[in-house]
Structures are given as structure tokens and as C-alpha cells.
Amino acid sequence: MKGNIISRVWNFYIDGFKSMTIGKTLWLIILIKLFVIFFILKLFFFPNFLKGKTEEQKQEYVSEELINRALTE
């Protein structure tokens, strides 16, 4: 195999993926699954309580959570 190291590595992977048989089906399923988990679920079901907060505000939020769960419940 000729060329510089980057093109050799690139061709190595391209040739490898092209020659895959069962692996293609598996990777397709995995990509669909990761898309559902990271995009759809994250977008619609899991609110980010700490988004947009400074480090101090995050600490305040978590400390209130920890303190009040013990003292008010």
C-alpha cells in the first residue's frame, strides 16, 4: 500500500468497512439506537436542570436538593 500514513490509514478503514458483511447490519442497528437514545429521549424526556447555570448556581442547586430531601421529606 502506497501513500502517506494518513491516506494509508484512511484506505485501511475504507477498505475494511467496504468488505464488511454482517457488521453493516449491526452498525446500522446501533446507529439507529444511539440516535433514538441521544436525540429523541434527551430532547423530549430528560430536562437539564443545570443548563445555563454557573458553577456556583449548580452547587447551590445540588446542595439544596441534598439538604432539603433529608430535612423536608
Partner 1 sequence: MFESIDTSLIDWSRAQFALTAMYHWLFVPLTLGLAMVMGIMETVYYKTGSAFWKKTSQFWQKIFGINFAVGIATGIVLEFEFGTNWSNYSMFVGDIFGAPLAIEGILAFFMESTFVAVMYFGWNQVSKQFHFASQWLTGLGATISAWWILVANSWMQYPVGMQFNPDTVRNEMVDFLAVAFSPMAISKFFHTVMSGWVLGAIFVVGVSSWYLLKKRHIEFAKASIKIGATFGIVASLIVAFTGDISGVQIAKLQPMKMAAAEGLKDGGNGVPFTVVGNIKIPKMLSILATHDIDGYVPGINNLIDGGYKLANGETALSAKEKIERGKKAIVALATYRKAVKEKDVAAKAEAKKVLDENMQYFGYGYIKDPNSLVPPVGITFWSFRVMVGLGGFFILLFIVVWWFHRKDKYQNMPWLQKIALWTIPLGYIACEAGWIVAEVGRQPWAIQDMLPVNAAISKLQTGSVQLTFFIFLILFTIMLIAEICIMVKSIKKGPDVLE
25 binds partner 1 per the rule CB under 8 A? yes
Asked if 71 touches partner 1 (CB under 8 A), the answer is: yes
Residue 51 found at the interface with partner 1 (CB under 8 A): no
1/13 Cα distance (integer angstroms): 13
Return the ∠ at Cα 28 (arms to 24 and 32), rounded to 5°. 175
Given the rule CB under 8 A, which residues bind partner 1? 1, 12-13, 15-17, 19, 22-23, 25-27, 29-30, 33-34, 36-38, 41-42, 45-47, 49-50, 58-60, 62-73
